[in-house]
Amino acid sequence: MENLVIENLKKAVTEGDIEKTKELAKKVLEIGMDPLKAINEGMAKGAKDVGDKFSKGEVFLVELVMAGEAMKAGMSILLPKIREARKERKTFGKVVIGTVKGDIHSIGKDIVATLLEAEGFEVINMGEDVPTEKFVEAVKQHKPDILGLSSLLTATMPMQKEVIDALKKEGLRDKVKVLIGGGPTTKEWAREIGADGWAGDAVSAVKLAKDIALNKRSR
């Protein structure tokens, strides 16, 4: 039963079917299935598939947006249950995340933000096309453990470096771990611009964030 629900969730998100995704999310709770498993193996994979196809020019922007909306609809049902289950536990830490200036892609970043929250992080999602100064302000205001910078366009990758340079200028660089991601980015690029880490997909991004949080706790 669980495998069928997961497959149907993935399909519903891929097709951008909001009502079907909500219906299946409710089914997850009805059968006592782990909501996090439904997110990771169902909805997130469906959204990633659409994101990959969009990158290859196989689907249009409207299909990407609808997949994102379907995932948000499912999350609105599952996240409260996850939060409820975790309310007695300490959070892993605080994450500010956003897509850099000039880039309006959201789905990959939103999947990462959702999975981070589901895993127990406090997440401040800045949205898309975020100016460098807004990231700097957010680090000052929220004092996050991690800053996540997403770029899905080669042309906007330099903005990731600009944010890191701005943090150095403001004396904030050593106060936050900076993780980058996005289709055209690489581990080498992260090293070149002085980021603390790089993730090629949402699952590895969450693992990296958890590793950083656990290392901080063990000091």
Residue-wise pLDDT for 142-154, tens only, equals: 999 999 999 988 9
Is residue 102 located within the same domain as residue 184? yes
pLDDT at 67: 92
Is residue 81 located within the same domain as residue 146? no
Which CATH number covers residue 47?
A: 1.10.1240.10
Domain boundary among 70, 86, 102: 86
Which CATH number covers residue 165?
A: 3.40.50.280
Do residues 64 and 51 lie in contact, with contact meaning Cβ atoms separated by under 8 Å?
yes
Is residue 100 located within the same domain as residue 58? no
Phi, psi of 17 (to 5 degrees): -90, 95
pLDDT at 105: 83
pLDDT at 101: 97
Is residue 115 located within the same domain as residue 80? no
Report the chain's C-alpha Rg in angstroms.
Answer: 17
Is residue 117 located within the same domain as residue 211? yes
Count how many domains the chain has: 2
Is residue 125 located within the same domain as residue 200? yes
The model's pTM: 0.81
Is residue 47 located within the same domain as residue 8? yes
Backbone conformation region of residue 85, classed left if phi is above 0, alpha if psi is from -120 to 50, else beta: alpha
Parts of the chain with a pLDDT under 70: 86-90, 217-219
pLDDT at 90: 64
Is residue 48 located within the same domain as residue 82? yes
Is residue 61 located within the same domain as residue 125? no
pLDDT at 123: 95
- CA dist., res. 145 & res. 175, Å (int): 8
Domain boundary among 27, 62, 86: 86
pLDDT at 64: 87
Alpha helix stretches (DSSP H) within the chain: 2-14, 18-30, 35-38, 44-55, 61-86, 107-118, 132-142, 157-169, 187-193, 202-218
Is residue 109 located within the same domain as residue 73? no
Is residue 113 located within the same domain as residue 188? yes
**Among positive and negative, which fits the CA dihedral 99, 132, 209, 96?**
negative
Domain boundary among 28, 57, 86: 86
- CA dist., res. 132 & res. 61, Å (int): 25
Is residue 141 located within the same domain as residue 168? yes
pLDDT at 133: 98
- For residue 28, give the amino acid letter: V
Token output for 54: 């969009």
* Domain interval for residue 155: 93-218
